Structure 1
């Protein structure tokens, strides 16, 4: 049995799986660098330089449909499928909120885009 960490890991740069039940890491960011911890908007900038909002929705949908419809899926029970759909919806909300934060920051909040129109173009 490994002993729990007793020293701060503030200079520790994590790489590997982020699912971790270690007591000191359980509810802490594991993938963010010190720079990203100091300025989390850097993560949003990087993410939306790699993926457009609609592309993200498409990838999330592909993941969800694979999880709930594949033979031998981890979601064979109705409650598990429901939980995955709920999680999917919440992740999509987080990504959309991040998109709004990033877009408003780039526009300087002077004239934020009108998101009420489905024809609005993405930044």
Structure 2
């Protein structure tokens, strides 16, 4: 992906420069962190802890750390997908412009 993407619209970016240039890296990092079933379980634990207020009461330090890491990965995932979305919109606009010039 080209560096031409406007990163200033992302006020607080959690992505590294490398991840901004290649948002697919974020997916690889997420699934290196945990496999899909584990990620789903962590999301479930996160939801339960939030809804029941049991975050400080029933979760171990390891579970709390996993939830915090998952949050960081989810934030990166949102930002990476935002970059992919912007790039897709640019490509779509370019295709439409090219089609207009054909006729």
What's the TM-score bracket when you normalise by the shorter of the two chains? 0.3 to 0.5
Instruction: Return the TM-score normalized by structure 1.
Output: 0.34
RCO higher in structure (CA 8 A, sep ≥6)? 2
More helix by share: 2
Instruction: Return the TM-score normalized by structure 2.
Output: 0.40
